[in-house]
Chains A and B, each alone.
Chain A
Amino acid sequence: MAKTTAHTVRDNDLSRRTSPAAPLADAFEAGSVAGVVELREEPFLTMVGLRVQHGTEVGDRIAAVTGGLPEASGGVGGNDDCSVLWLGPTEFLVVAPMEAHESLGGTLIQSLRDALGDGEGQVVDLSANRTTFELTGSRSRAVLEKGCSLDLHPRVLKAGTALSTEIGQIPVVLWKTGDESFRIFPRASFADFLGRWLLDAMREYAAPEVP
C-alpha cells in the first residue's frame, strides 16, 4: 500500500483540518456550566461502519477484532481499543480514538478489512461522517429531554447503552457513556445546528436556581 504511505507522510499535519463544530468551540466553553452541564466536541474520532451477520464465520472474525458484536438494540460491545455500537440487526458502528485511524498509523481499519476478507459484509471508514459531542453533568439528561422522546430516566436508559434516535429533530446516535455523561453523534452537516440547539437548551442552567 505505497499509496497510503505517501498519503500519511504528506498529510500528517493535523493542524490544517477543521472539525465540523470547530467554529462553536468558544461558544461551547462559554455555554458550559462547570459540574452542571458541559458541552464540548471530541473531534476526529475513528469510526467504522460494519455490515455483517451475527454468527457467521466472517461475523466471528470481525467480532474477534472488535471484542464482540452487540446482540440487540441499545447494545455496546468492544475492547480496550474500540467500542461497537448496535445500529441494526446487521449494522454496527465502531468508535475508536483518533489515533486508531490509518492516517495516523493506526491499524484498526485494516485489521477489520483483513477480518472481512472476501466474506459477505462491509467495512467502511466513516470517520468523517459524524462528529462527536460530549455532554456531561447533572443536568445533561434534562437538556436532552427537551428534544428527545426516548425515556432517558436512569431506570430505563442505563449507562452503556447507545440508540439511534432524534434530538432536536436531528437524527443522531445517542450513547450514554456514564451516569451523567452522553456522547452524541450527529452527521457533520447537522453539527452546527445541533450544537446551537444544545447550547440553547443549556442556557437556563447557567442562571442561579430559583429557590
Chain B
Amino acid sequence: MLLISCPNCGSRDETEFHYGGQAHVPYPENPDELTDRQWAEFLFYRDNTKGSFAERWLHSTGCRQWFNMLRDTVTYDIQAIYPMGAPRPAPNTDQPADFGTASLAPDSTTTGTTGPSVASTDLGPAEPAATAPKGATQ
C-alpha cells in the first residue's frame, strides 16, 4: 500500500485515490487538423517509462481534487507532488522521504498554490512527453 500525500489532506492510503494516467499530455491545439493516426496517438499512446514518471492522481474519497505526482515506476518512490498545471519538476533523489508518514495533518502544501521544493541536483534533463503531436499546446 502506498501512502500518498494529498496536497490538501496530507498522507492517505492509496485506496483513497484514483490514478489518472500520464501527466502533461497536451490537448491538440487544432484537433480538426490531426490525421487519424495523430488523433489515435493523442488519445491512446502513452509513455511506458522505467523510472521517473509524471502522472495525474485524484483524491477521490477525500477532497476530490486532482494533482500531479512524480513517481519512480521501479521503486515506487514518490519524488514530488505538485499542482495541476505546474511544470514537471526535475527528478531528484536528495529529497527527504517525507511522503511516507502516517500523519493526517495537512502536512506539506495548501491548495494548489505551492509547488514541491525541488533541489537543484538534477538527474539529467526531464524528458518531455513524446506523445504530443506536432502543433500541440503546452
Contact = CB atoms under 8 A, between A and B. Distances in A.
A166 B103 contact: no
A118 B102 CA distance: 42
Given A72-B106, A151-B102, A151-B104, A91 B64 contact: yes
A89 B110 CA distance: 9
B122 interface: no
Contacts of A73: 8-10, 62-63, 106
Given A72-B106, A73-B10, A156-B103, A166 B63 contact: no
Contacts of B63: 73, 87-89, 91, 164
Contacts of A72: 8, 106, 110
Contact of B65 (A89, A163, A166, A171): A89
Interface residues of A, number: 18
B114 interface: no
A165 interface: yes
A150 interface: yes
Q: Secondary structure of the B side of the interface? A: loop
Chain B residues touching A, range: 20 to 34
Contact of A87 (B15, B64, B103): B64
Contact of A166 (B15, B110, B111): B15
B116 interface: no
A4 interface: no
Interface in A153-200: 156-157, 163-166, 169, 171
Nearest to A86: B63
A149 B12 contact: yes
Interface string A83-108: 00001110100000000000000000
A156 B105 contact: yes
Contacts of A151: 102-104
10 interchain residue pairs of minimum CB distance: A88-B63, A89-B111, A171-B61, A73-B9, A149-B13, A73-B106, A164-B62, A150-B104, A88-B64, A151-B104
Given A91-B64, A163-B104, A165-B12, 9 more contacts: A72-B106, A73-B8, A73-B9, A150-B12, A151-B104, A156-B103, A156-B104, A164-B63, A165-B16
13 contacts: A73-B62, A74-B106, A87-B63, A149-B13, A150-B104, A151-B103, A163-B62, A164-B9, A165-B12, A165-B61, A166-B15, A169-B15, A171-B61
